[in-house]
Amino acid sequence: MEHAEILHRCFRCGYCKLPGSYLDLNCPSYLKFRFETYSPGARMWLLRAWLDGEIQTSPHLSDILFSCAACRNCVEHCVFTKFKDDLLNALIAGRGELVNEGAVPPMVKDYLEGIRLYGNPYKLPEADRGNWAEGLGLVPYAGQEYLFYAGCVGSYDGRGQKMARAASSLLKDWGVSFGILGADERCDGNEVRALGESGLFEMIARQNIEKFQSGGVKKIITLSPHAYHAMKNEYPKFGGVFQVYHYSQILAKSMEKGRHISGKPLRVTFHDPCYLGRHNQEYLAPRQVLRALPSVELIEMDRAMSDALCCGGGGGNFFTDILGGGTDSPARVRVREAAETGAQVLAVACPKCAKMLEDAIKAENLEEKLRVMDLAEIIKARSASN
Ligand code: SF4
Ligand code: SF4
């Protein structure tokens, strides 16, 4: 197994499951299940014992490995600098071994089947993929400066579609030159990779790269931080070198267009998406957007930026739901934390976070106090009231 040589180095101090303050539990799976085996360090020990034949393959072992949300808190906070960068890579390699053995949880099998057979985890027709853009007057990609990539959640999920429509129409209003692929778009593969199916991920990446290159795409704006991560950091390994931007970065660059947008005073707190923040160290762009809006007050949660608590939707869990719900689910803990700031809006920059946190607000009966809006939805709502 790749990275097997680092497994014995973990000395189980446990810092990897905490934020920098050591005051909370910041590994979503440990937070939810409260058993040491669901902590990052213990996963290293489990993998080592499994590779050494001391424990057998079992559904329980699979559940433990596949409940990781790939949030990277452990990489950020592990105290052992010599191997911490490969902590998550080792876990993904372990998942890969289970994928090869066919020993994955049923929900993971179902997710991968959806991607293999339908090109999307919703198992919906590829022909419907561009429906999210209906009525917006967006044009197919034909050599514009950017390709706007909506992704599976932005294309098929109702909450994701709302966000894709807000972000793309705002970019259009602000004069950004872009086109979309519509029904020709395909899954970016980031969750497939995080679930350990490296062969399928390579196939998806190569197909996308070929499509982008043959269309002359040089610059990409992604709605999702997950697609941003895959295209920016993984596609170059297969020859796909593009200038990849998350939509918050394009908005941040264009905020002179938003400076005149006034509105009622609004208290906002921001939830850092793991694949934008910890995976790519982009903490500033979304905050630049919010701080540039007149009458918007940004209030940080105790856990912000590199200490942010994941919503629990990463690493495939948005679809597989191995973490499950309940009061200790990361999304519900996170919205309680957001509500404690006194913010009226929980701002997000990822369609998966939007859906996870919106559902959690309903489960917590916080709808009267707090609502989830993405950066573009906030700007558009304030523009409409001008
Ligand atoms: S912080 Fe690093 S060394 Fe300590 S338990 Fe976690 S993975 Fe192991
Ligand atoms: S990546 Fe996140 S969920 Fe996975 S083991 Fe590390 S801290 Fe826990």
**b/e sequence 238-267, b meaning 16+ C-beta within 10 Å:** bebebebbbbbbbbbebbebbeebebeebe
Same domain, 88 and 136: no
User: Residue 77 C-alpha to ligand 1 middle, in angstroms?
Assistant: 8
Query: Do 279 and 72 form a contact (C-beta atoms < 8 A)?
Result: yes
Same domain, 335 and 277: yes
113 assigned to some structural domain? no
Q: Whose CA is nearest to atom 4 of ligand 1?
A: 13
Residue 259 has pLDDT above 90, yes or no: no
Pocket of ligand 2 contains residue 28 by CB under 6 Å: yes
User: Residue 45 C-alpha to ligand 1 middle, in angstroms?
Assistant: 10
124 assigned to some structural domain? no
265 assigned to some structural domain? yes
Same domain, 329 and 379: yes
pLDDT (0 to 100) of residue 80: 92
User: Residue 78 C-alpha to ligand 1 middle, in angstroms?
Assistant: 5
Residue 310 has pLDDT above 90, yes or no: yes
Residue 386 has pLDDT above 80, yes or no: no
228 assigned to some structural domain? yes
Overall number of domains in the chain: 3
Query: Do 45 and 10 form a contact (C-beta atoms < 8 A)?
Result: yes
Same domain, 149 and 223: yes
Which atom of ligand 2 is nearest to 310's Cα? 2
State which residues form the domain around 286. Answer: 259-384
Same domain, 269 and 248: no
**pLDDT tier at 55 (50, 70, 90 boundaries)?**
very high
Rounded CA separation 112/120 (Å): 9
Residue 98 has pLDDT above 90, yes or no: yes
Residue 127, classified by CB atoms within 10 Å of its CB into exposed (0-12), middle (13-18) or buried (19+), is: exposed
Same domain, 15 and 94: yes
Same domain, 247 and 265: no
329 assigned to some structural domain? yes
Q: Whose CA is nearest to atom 5 of ligand 2?
A: 40
Query: Do 327 and 258 form a contact (C-beta atoms < 8 A)?
Result: no
Residue 44 has pLDDT above 90, yes or no: yes
Same domain, 35 and 88: yes
Which of 236, 252, 268 is where one domain is finished?
Answer: 252
Residue 48 has pLDDT above 80, yes or no: yes
pLDDT (0 to 100) of residue 263: 84
User: Residue 316 C-alpha to ligand 2 middle, in angstroms?
Assistant: 12
121 assigned to some structural domain? no
Count, residues in the chain:
386
Same domain, 160 and 267: no
Pocket of ligand 2 contains residue 39 by CB under 6 Å: no
Same domain, 55 and 150: no
Same domain, 198 and 239: yes
Same domain, 285 and 208: no
CATH number of the domain within which 270 lies: 3.40.50
**Average pLDDT for residues 110-129, to the nearest whole number?**
96
Which of 228, 252, 276 is where one domain is finished?
Answer: 252
* pLDDT tens for each residue of 61-92: 999 999 999 999 999 999 998 899 999 999 99
Q: Which mutation among 74, 272, 306, 317 tests ligand 2's pocket best, with the greatest number of atoms within 8 A of CB?
A: 74
122 assigned to some structural domain? no
DSSP string computed for 44-55: HHHHHHHHTTSS
Pocket of ligand 2 contains residue 304 by CB under 6 Å: no
Which of 227, 252, 277 is where one domain is finished?
Answer: 252
151 assigned to some structural domain? yes
Pocket of ligand 1 contains residue 11 by CB under 6 Å: yes
